[in-house]
Amino acid sequence: MKHELTKEIQGEYSYVIGPYRDPVLTVKSGDTVVAHTVDAFEQKITDESVKPSSIATLPYVNPLVGPIAVEGAEPGDALAVQVISIDPVGPQPRGVTCLQKYFGLLSPTASALSEPFPEIVKMVEVTTEGIVWDEDIVFPYEPFIGTIGTAPKIEAVNSLTPSNHGGNMDLPDVAPGSTIYLPVRADGGLLYLGDVHACQGDGELCGVAIEMPARVEIKVELIKNWTLDWPRLEDENRIMSIGNSKPLEDAVKIAYNDLVHWMVDCYGFDKWDAYFILTQVGRVRIANVVDPLYTAGAWIDKRYLKKGGK
């Protein structure tokens, strides 16, 4: 069954991911949901003269749709969320990036005595053909879901912070064609999503990718009795474990460690053999190094998972 999560059904956006809000929609395993997301600034940057600090105040940034409950989902299960399509919507120029006072990897921090950055907004045309940066440069349209996660058991995490429930990971691999696996820790799973990016470099350097409003189609399946410590992702060629932590080496450590266990538990590898193999052919994506916790995805090509020609 296909559900249209209209703005009327959605009601107010959520700025936390947690178990304290009633589901706006309940689906069955295997259902499809079409969600309509706004950008990270709730569409309040309407032209390049708008100062981000004038329209976005913590903790009310990065609005999410949801929660979506899945029938029968209980703690100890997992959700498999397949990304079917992501389309840009809204009037042009619909893509926005900006420089903020105290946000970004090369920016001054609020916990120091430096002067803030100037606030600069740049708006760009986004179509499925590409993102027109200027007369010389067009970025490829490589859209993904920046924030996606399930409710923790008792916590409510702000929508800017990724952790072991998913959240604001800004991982470009959460894109059409891939499936993200998320832990169920509260009844129903309680899926939230939003913060779509039209494209993004590794680490999301200045902290703001090409943000855009989007129509997102996902398929949600329930996997019973699969306890996940951290989110995982799979596409045609790869399996990826995802770590969110700080400092960044801890995120890499979490991701690789989870991947070792995935290889041992589901693919029959010996622990040391998996550790050795990832040393030689493991790959790492730095997703974000600007949010309250940093995100790394570690993956292995599926060709190395075949044992004995199987």
CB 95, min distance to its own copies, A: 10
Q: Which is nearer to its own copies, 80 or 233 (CB)?
A: 233
Which sign does the torsion angle of CA 160, 173, 83, 43 carry? positive
The interface with its own copies within residues 219-238 (CB under 8 A) comprises: none
Task: Output 1 or 225, the one with its CB closest to its own copies.
Answer: 225
Shortest distance in whole angstroms from residue 69 CB to its own copies:
18
Q: Does 253 bind its own copies (CB under 8 A)?
A: yes
The sign of the torsion formed by the CA atoms of 248, 15, 178, 74 equals: positive
Copy the structure tokens of residue 128: 């499925």
By the rule CB under 8 A, 262 interacts with its own copies = no
- Which of these, 63, 86, 88, lies nearest to 168 by C-alpha position? 63
Among 85, 139, 187, 302, binds its own copies (CB under 8 A): 139
Site for its own copies in 28-57 (CB under 8 A): none
Q: Which one of residues 2, 7, 153, 224 is an interface residue with its own copies (CB under 8 A)?
A: 153
Residue 6: both structure tokens together:
């209209």
DSSP 19: S
* Using rule CB under 8 A, residue 267 touches its own copies: no
Report d(CA 154, CA 142) in Å as an integer.
35
What SS3 state is found at 86? strand
Q: How many Å apart are CA 77 and CA 184, to the nearest integer?
A: 5
Looking at the DSSP assignment, which residues form a beta bridge with residue 150? 191
The footprint of its own copies on residues 112-131 (CB under 8 A) is 112-115, 117, 120, 122, 131
- Residue 228's CB is within 10 A of a number of other CB atoms, namely 23
Which one, 33 or 231, has the nearer CB to its own copies? 231
190 binds its own copies (CB under 8 A): no
Phi and psi angles of residue 209, each rounded to the nearest 5 degrees, phi first: -75, -165
Taking CB under 8 A as the rule, does residue 268 contact its own copies? no
DSSP 211: B
Angle at which helices 271-281 and 248-267 pack, to 10 degrees? 130
Q: Please count the residues of this chain forming the interface with its own copies, following the rule CB under 8 A.
A: 81
Amino acid at 43: Q
Task: Please identify, using beta-carbon distances, which residue of 24 and 248 lies nearer to its own copies.
Answer: 248
The piece of 3-11, 37-45, 61-69, 202-210 that touches its own copies (CB under 8 A) is 202-210
Region 155-174 residues binding its own copies, contact defined as CB under 8 A: 155-158
Q: In what order do the strands lie in the sheet with 130-132?
A: 95-99, 120-127, 130-132, 138-139
Among 12, 22, 47, 136, binds its own copies (CB under 8 A): 136
Nearer to its own copies, 71 or 229 (CB): 229
Q: Please tell me whether residue 22 binds its own copies under the rule CB under 8 A.
A: no
Binding flag, residue 18, its own copies (CB under 8 A)? yes
Span of 39-47, 84-92, 151-159, 174-182 interacting with its own copies by CB under 8 A: 151-159
